[in-house]
Chain A
Amino acid sequence: MIRSENLGPNQQAWRRFRRNRPAAAAAMLLGFVVLVVLLWPLFSQPGLAPRLPAALTHPPDAISDAQFLPPGPAHWFGTDVHGRDLLSRVCHGARISLLVGLVGAAVSLIIGVLWGATAGYCGGRWDSVMMRFVDVLYAMPSIIFVIVLITSLNAFLGKMEAAGLSAGGAQWLQFAGLFAGLGAVSWLTMARIVRGQVLTLRHQAFVDASRVLGASHARILLRHILPNVYGVILVYLTLTIPSIILYESFLSYLGLGIQPPQASLGSLIASGAEQINSVRIYWWLIVYPGATLALTLLALNFVGDGLRDAWDLRSGKRA
């Protein structure tokens, strides 16, 4: 490849990313979702509300008599069991779901890569000890961990509230507990995958070469081995964000995730699933939050794939 300009590798990667049409489109879609979700509370402000269509200005937790209205001009996404506007609840829920996914994935990424790379690179006894520890945690169903963690935290918060902690503070603590719990149970697979990759790489000729040339362990790991694993880490991270968002939706289904009146996309879908009966089909309660969830996760994944292709050090050049 001829480089006529003096661009750094990262600038070149960003340039490649922007040329990747599907990824760029997904990034714009994601940006649009984030923008709508962030700006949503502004729509119901008194200064702005009269100038917008009435369907955009319903507050998310205003209960009304209009239960189970199908989608229509007044309520674009219909209404739920309490007559609340589904569109505003979906926007509200998407914001929480995105927050949960990002923070949880960041937690799991940091722990998983550090752990897996160290184990794979050190090899031998260290590898055994570190991966047996992962095995032990792995071998416990994570759901039991999370349930015990979150129910204990809720009991603790209940006591704190009785002792005079404000409701807002308790809510933030609960969020923090949810992030920590989700991140702490989802780093194991990342560690295993990174370790497996490092294990196959550490006996390859270019690693031996730099070791012979006197490179330090940290340098070999960070400069020579990890760059070869970036693709896998990135792809796996794009799988981690959705899986954390999904995990949260599962917890919401159990009633342990985001607590009402707050809502996440998962808790909206879960409450829609409760309304399934063989007489009337309230499809909008599942389809709209579900489609928003799927769309958001699809966009996240496409962006991740685009980033992978842009930074990928393997494609074409290594062979």
Chain B
Amino acid sequence: MYFLKRILFMGPLLVLISFLAFVMVRVAPGGPFDRERKPASPEIERNLRAKYHLDEPVLRQYLRYVDGIVHGDFGASLKYRNRSVADIIAQGLPVSLSLGAMAFCFAMGTGIPLGFFTAVHKGAWGDYLGSFMALFVICIPGLVIGPVLIMLFAIHWRWFPVALWGSPWHAILPTLTLGLYFTGRVARLMHEGMLATLPSEFITTARAKGLGEMAVLIRHAFPIAILPVVSYSGPMLADLLTGSFVVENLFQIPGLGVFMVNSSLNRDYTLVAGLVLLYAALLLVLNLAVDFLFSALDPRVRYD
């Protein structure tokens, strides 16, 4: 029932979000044509604005925009004027999706075992080393890792290509650059979750029943201990899938992250609204999945 309501609310929520994004960018000072060569005459400028309906009231523009979406038209980009918003997304999304998915798998695949291991061996040297590594990768931004990886592996040793997107070889350095930070965060959340779960009474009960240590840790502690990671994975995945400006810019990858930044810098209203809608839809679905997983994993959580 609760989840049905959430799904029904999604539609209005998306309308609200797109409205906020549209109005926010539209009301902010500056316009999409500011950085271009000044039009030859005021008439041309007026015609340009009229062509894209920028001379109408904001609400009217928004309704026109929504009307377009209902008919499957996300509008034309105001900056990249020969391309529609749908074109830009159709070209960038597959790239950002695959890079993001790889970084997500990398972060989960390394972060969860690391956090689990360090929590189980609390106080041993393996814990100190592992926890230090988890912290260390959080503390180095992609802005540093990326250039260092490029300088070492691409320029100095020439093992990997410097930039661009194509073969699996091209994907390795960007995946590391994007994923390492999240490895650290996942590992820390997992570590924290395990430490919070292990003193619980149901763990003592499980041990008292004579279960082996591995069964206690994996079957009983793990599903509860992973909750913070599950909770974090929704927004993390949405962030990763819609592209990262730094990584795409450093490695010259044609993803969506660059458009996300440039569209809001350029006040490219239709592109901003389209990208925000995409991000929002993705995030809402993922958050719903996370909450669903939450109640499935922890019977103590009740949504009522």
Chain A interface (Cβ within 8 Å of chain B)? 22, 123-124, 132, 135-136, 138-141, 143-145, 147-148, 151-152, 155-156, 189, 192-193, 196, 199-200, 203-204, 231-232, 235, 239, 242, 246, 249-250, 253-254, 266, 269-270, 272-273, 276, 278, 281, 283, 286-287, 290, 293-295, 297-298, 301-302, 314-316, 318-319
Contact = CB atoms under 8 A, between A and B. Distances in A.
A277 to B, nearest CB: 8
B209 interface: no
A120 B148 CA distance: 43
B196 interface: yes
A135 B13 contact: yes
B34 to A, nearest CB: 10
A70 B280 CA distance: 47
B77 interface: no
Contacts of A281: 151, 155-156
Contacts of B228: 193, 232
Contacts of B146: 273
Nearest to A196: B231
A302 B155 contact: no
Contacts of A239: 138, 185, 188
B39 interface: no
Contact of B136 (A155, A298, A315): A298
A66 B228 CA distance: 51
Nearest to B145: A290
Complex A-B, nearest 5 residue pairs according to Cβ-Cβ distance, in ascending order: A319-B199, A290-B144, A297-B139, A139-B280, A147-B264
A269 B261 contact: no
A293 B139 contact: yes
Contacts of A242: 138-139
B28 A287 contact: no
Tell me whether chain B's interface is mostly helix, strand or loop, or mixed: helix
Interface string B186-202: 00100010011001110
Interface stretch (B112-120, B212-220, B296-304): B296-304
Contacts of B272: 144
A80 to B, nearest CB: 14
Given A136-B20, A141-B260, A302 B135 contact: yes
A150 B21 CA distance: 15
A143 B244 CA distance: 11
B140 A140 contact: no
A279 B15 CA distance: 51
A151 to B, nearest CB: 6
A243 B13 CA distance: 28
Interface residues of B, number: 65
Contact of B143 (A135, A151, A249): A249
Contact of B264 (A22, A148, A203): A148
B125 interface: no
A155 B246 contact: no
Tell me whether chain A's interface is mostly helix, strand or loop, or mixed: helix
A319 B195 CA distance: 12
Interface string B20-34: 110011001110000
23 contacts: A22-B128, A135-B284, A135-B287, A138-B283, A140-B279, A143-B245, A155-B30, A232-B228, A239-B188, A250-B143, A250-B245, A250-B246, A254-B245, A272-B147, A278-B155, A281-B155, A286-B147, A294-B140, A297-B139, A301-B139, A314-B199, A319-B199, A319-B200
A143 B250 contact: no
B68 interface: no
A235 B25 contact: no
B138 A301 contact: yes
Given A152-B28, A200-B301, A250-B143, A143 B264 contact: yes
B16 interface: yes
Contacts of A295: 139
Interface string B121-161: 00000001000000110111101101110110001100000
Nearest to B122: A315
B264 A144 contact: yes
Contacts of B21: 140, 144
Given A148-B24, A294-B140, 13 more contacts: A135-B13, A136-B20, A138-B287, A139-B284, A140-B279, A143-B264, A155-B29, A239-B188, A249-B143, A254-B245, A281-B156, A286-B148, A297-B139
Question: Taking each of A123, A144, A283, A315, which has the highest tally of chain B beta carbons within 10 Å of its own beta carbon?
Answer: A144
A52 to B, nearest CB: 29
Given A203-B300, A273-B147, A283-B151, A141 B276 contact: yes
Contacts of A193: 228, 231
B293 interface: no
B265 interface: yes
A156 B204 CA distance: 61
A298 B139 contact: yes
A199 B301 contact: yes
B206 interface: no
Contact of B17 (A123, A140, A203): A140
Contact of A203 (B139, B150, B302): B302
B253 interface: no
A294 B227 CA distance: 28
A152 B29 contact: yes
Interface in B221-273: 227-228, 231-232, 235, 242, 245-246, 249-250, 260-261, 264-265, 272
Contacts of A315: 195, 199
Contact of A148 (B16, B28, B242): B28
